[in-house]
Structure 1
């Protein structure tokens, strides 16, 4: 008997190796004396196995076939076990298909079998998110807004969206000091991390306002303008009134503004730095917050960071949250037109977070990156958020703006509805090969269908739905191209 092998069965590759070895030690279709014993010792199988292989080799040689050996064992198959009843699966409600365990119980099969179906792509996992409810008027507004983002017609007859280089998207988001529940991957003997707080319902948090414009990147991939205007925390500083184990009395502490009102938003855009203790006194004594000013100032930041060669006709897009100031706010209108700038406020359609770059993808990206940095106090949280914001690649921001244009295209196809899937563009590959477009194009047919839909809903002013934007688009592109020429960039 041969020595024991790890497996008593030969693979097809091993069988063919044995066959080639035997052919080298054969003459006139006969094995040399002692070849079978030598082969059995070398390949650690029995002599009977060697003779069976040689018999198969001789049979294929007699028929003039190429030597190719395969195992004759078919094994046990259970094809009936893997047949999925599509009608039975579809008869279950989505709640009865919320997990592998629940679905296996309702189908009367094992959890492992449902897992096999998922692995074999007979079932697909789907994460479902609740979307804002849209009224018919909301859908009309979304469709009109999408049409107003169109720019010029290219040579092929397609209509391109505006490049959006003169639009700043602003929005607010709460960032928490930590998550109440998190997942980590540890070594088998590693101790579990210990986290504790007084109440999971009151984890410290800070509201930030993010302002993002579209980056300007030349054909060589060089970033001329990163598009990151600023991210502003809604905080104030106050002196500690008592001693504690963490700091002595009088230490200045950063605290979150408890109530964000329209006056806070207005002052954050317009006014300059003030005394924090005075601001806190106003916060306590004045419920209207009419004179509250916090340290960040949006409009001065925008003006200081805006490229000198770009158009100074700037649109600031915001959502319809109640604390936001109105587009015709008199105090705001007096400030943006100084220094040659013409800054206008725009309110995006109601219930439409998919029309704002921040909500569409930017907030989720910096949230994920922020969670990778530890923070034990509010000051560290602010630092982590600002560092993540500043370190985020401009190329990724540019990708989100293209995704925004894809959403506008899908809104047109859905006649203003939000029940659509964002199309996949493979933007990173297009960017590597130098074929990433600066704007998405739609067909003339889609444009005509959208306009007909608006006319059919008794919106007589559809003929002027894109008026005014073509001129702004062309002027903005002219300013950018002239600026790039001045800085010697193609």
Structure 2
């Protein structure tokens, strides 16, 4: 370490370790070689003068006495250095308008102190930095409207059969079995579609309807085309189905809408809105097949898109999908 460079003071354990290293290099008279101080300074990140000072404090005696050297302790105890000149700095910063606190130069100019001094206070934790995000200005009616529509009740998500990383609980020193696969790029993943509703009281059953309709997966069972080491040709295997607008419409008509009819509490309004986000595979509300399925059997269902620029309050992403 060159002279003039600043480093945090050595701890008591580092000082005693340095003395132990020097004891292996010293002469029978208790002197250290010329190059020993330079080597130890590079090892412990200090100057050669510091190494010699610690060696003198150890008072090494190799004449045969009971105590070869004494322990070395730092003479700086607790908080050292000069006192801070600006004890009320946080309170002074609070009085500065926020538009003048976007960089150290502006704050230092407003306080009348050097920028380097302000940065030193920041490194010691006297002041802090905060990140603020520009958000749209909303009225109370805007907030209520957005909150109502942000509850997305029909949503899909990819699920992988296994994750790249997993945590295993074991005994201390236990050797955990390593997981392996041919390629991490070809892990099987399946798209799931879930539908939920708001909680409500079911008068006919005298119980609370939890709103959980069902979860479906986009898969199909087809016969295997080729022979492999794990199965014969023609064995039924499950494969994922690509999620397109047609497959999503089939799932909506054959699975989601019938599940609503079968599990909806008796006596509740049949005017149901199927809220979905603006993903490309989602069907438009004007689709003739979907409209016919929604209006069948006396129901008044309607597929609606979620408005843009809404807060992230998706109940499926933030609740159910995260939990499983």
TM-score, with structure 1 as normaliser: 0.37
Q: Give the 5 Å matches for 1:130-279.
A: 146-148=143-145, 169-216=153-200, 223-257=207-241, 259-271=242-254
Higher relative contact order (CA 8 A, sep 6+): 1
Provide the C-alpha distance between the structure 2 equivalents of 1:169 and 1:246, rounded to a whole number of angstroms: 40
Asked whether the equivalents of residues 240 and 252 of structure 1 are also in contact (C-alpha less than 8 Å), the reply is: yes
- Following the alignment from structure 1 to structure 2, what is the Cα–Cα distance between the partners of residues 326 and 143? 30
Greater helix fraction, Structure 1 or Structure 2? 1
Alignment of 1:369-448 (within 5 A): none
Q: Quote the offset at 1:353 in angstroms.
A: 6.2
Does the 8 Å CA contact 2:193/2:215 hold for their aligned counterparts?
Answer: yes
> Match for 2:320 among 354, 362, 376?
362
Q: Distance in 2 between matches of 1:305 and 1:123?
A: 57
SS at match of 2:168: coil
Change in CA separation of 1:240 and 1:227 when aligned onto 2, cut-off 3 Å: same
- Cα deviation for residue 78 of structure 1 reads 1.8
Cα distance change of structure 1 residues 345 and 331 upon mapping to structure 2, 3 Å threshold: same
Q: How does 1:329-368 map to 2 (within 5 A)?
A: 329-352=287-310, 354-366=312-324
Q: Which residue of 2 aligns with 1:327?
A: 285
What's 1:288 paired with?
Answer: none
The CA deviation at 1:301 is: 1.3
Rg: which structure is higher?
A: 2
For residues 356 and 245 of structure 1, the distance between their equivalents in structure 2, rounded to whole angstroms, comes to: 44
1:181 aligned counterpart, secondary structure: coil
Aligned residue pairs, count: 213
The aligned counterpart of 1:78 is: 78
Change (3 A) 1:339 1:201: same
Q: 1:78 to 1:209 in 2, by over 3 A?
A: same
Cα distance in 2 for residues equivalent to 1:77 and 1:182: 45
> Are the aligned partners of 2:152 and 2:306 in contact in 1 as well (CA < 8 Å)?
no
Mapped to 1, the partners of 2:195 and 2:80 lie a distance apart of 58
Alpha-carbon RMSD:
4.2
